[in-house]
Amino acid sequence: MKRLKKTISLLLVTAMLLAFAACGAKTPAASTEAPAPSAPAAETEPETHTVTVNGLTYDEEAFKAEPAANRKITVSYGGGSLCTSPAAVAYYLGFYEDEGLDVEIISVESEKEAVASGKLDAVSGFLSSWLPAVANGVGITFTTGVHTGCASVLVLSDSELNSYADKVGGTIAISGGFGGGPHNYGMRSVLHEGFAVDDFNWIAFDASLGLDVLKKGEADFLLVPDQMGRKWIDSGEVRRIHSNTYDEPFAEEPCCVFGLSTEFIEENPITAEKMTRAVYRTCRYINQSDEHKAEVVQILADHFNFNIDPDYAISLMNEWEFGVSNEACLMCLDNSVGEYVEAGILAADIDQEALKQSVWQVYDLSDITAEYL
């Protein structure tokens, strides 16, 4: 028995020694060869977040990253004018909000100075007055035509004058001051009749006094916006002899246009397109029915103390086409620039083609046109 126990003890000791030996054995040396290069990871496209809102498809993250996404966008409107109201009306119709835009309507003393200082992002006004300003360095780019019309050359109803040809050398009275929209349109209308600007005398007056200017014989022809002149036509005191509402090629052209600061467009390309679409949608909405026009008149009365007879306002708006096509706007530029050079409004040595290329940003608005037929 003792011999058996001793044998077992020896076997246990031997097993333990073998175990310790195994634990102390060295592992094989690591290979010194460089590992084979792994295949490069496939390049992944940056993640986009494309969405479609009101017919416009864009990258939502890029839109949110634009500077204008973090502040209010300023749009100018001071009240009193049907012509330039759509950019303000868009706010009250909720069309800016529908585009995800934070817009504020402000009134400024000088829109051109406000644009230059960065106080103002967007404006509406006569193309005929804004185009020379842009040519002279004001940083605005037009993006859509607001409406056709809306000024006329008037004479007294009992006058023997039926055209400029009936009194070459006569006096043309203009509202809005020299260099304003009516003045520049008036010079174009004279050129279209085959005369030079200097064939007539030009005087400026306050629009509300226009009828008196004619009655007192201080002028032979009176050029005023239709909002003022139509009431005198309706009363039978004056009649039209020329009109950019009805006479070709003016009848197809935009009278008023919407534009954005050129710097704003460069820094906020998606926002700029959204702003344009909201204003153009407003224009087409107005054009669609008398009910919509009445809604606009009420908005102006409620928010801008706009004092005008609703029926008169609706009848005026029915004379104009709201929401002018890109084709008509570009045609107007082609017509206007050369004539402005001829009239002396633009410098004779200006690069006409470069000007036409630089002043208009074209966006595809055809889906909105189709929506509001």
Tokens of 46: 């940056």
16-38 burial, b if ≥16 CB within 10 A, otherwise e?
Answer: eeeeeeeeeeeeeeeeeeeeeee
Whether residue 179 contacts residue 136, with contact meaning beta carbons closer than 8 Å, is answered with no
| E strand or H helix at 143 | strand 140-147
86-107 burial, b if ≥16 CB within 10 A, otherwise e?
Answer: bbbbbbbbebbeebbbebebbe
State pLDDT tens for residues 98-107. 999 999 999 9
Task: Name the band, by pLDDT with cuts 50, 70 and 90, for residue 55.
Answer: confident
Residue 46 has a pLDDT of 56
CA angle at 179 for the pair 178 and 183, rounded to the nearest 5°: 70
- What percentage of residues in the chain have a pLDDT greater than 90? 74
- Going by the DSSP 8-state scheme, the letter that residue 169 receives in this structure is T
Q: Which domains, and CATH codes, for the chain?
A: 51-148+253-371 (3.40.190.10), 151-243 (3.40.190.10)
State pLDDT tens for residues 288-323. 999 999 999 999 999 998 989 999 999 999 999 999
Say whether 51 sits in a helix, a strand or coil: strand
Mean pLDDT of the chain: 87
Say whether 254 sits in a helix, a strand or coil: coil
Tokens of 165: 């040809």
Residue 176 has a pLDDT of 83
